[in-house]
């Protein structure tokens, strides 16, 4: 394996790790934002449309 191949492989691994970390951060932020929306706000989004609730 040449040095160029080694460094290219390391760079690809680093970029994949960065993408995975970014995707995890986005998913975490999305979950937190959705959890912050209260029930009244969620129901207000359905104003004028049928709404079904399963308990």
Vertex 35: Cα angle to 33 and 39 (nearest 5): 115
Reply yes or no on whether the pLDDT at 1 is more than 90.
Answer: no
Please answer whether residues 48 and 40 qualify as being in contact, where contact means their C-beta atoms are separated by less than 8 angstroms: no
Reported pTM: 0.62
- The whole-angstrom separation of Cα 53 and Cα 14 is 45
- In the chain, where the domains are located: 12-39
CA atoms 26, 28, 40, 46: torsion sign: positive
What pLDDT, on a 0 to 100 scale, did the predictor assign at position 24?
98
What tens digit of pLDDT does each residue of 6-47 get?
999 999 999 999 999 999 999 999 999 999 999 899 888 888
What pLDDT, on a 0 to 100 scale, did the predictor assign at position 46?
84
CA atoms 27, 30, 36, 40: torsion sign: negative
């Amino acid at each position: 394996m040449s040095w160029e191949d080694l460094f290219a492989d390391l760079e690809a691994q680093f970029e994949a790790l960065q993408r995975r970390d970014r995707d995890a951060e986005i998913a975490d932020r999305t979950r937190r934002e959705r959890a912050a929306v209260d029930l009244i706000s969620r129901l207000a989004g359905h104003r004028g449309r049928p709404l079904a609730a399963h308990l």
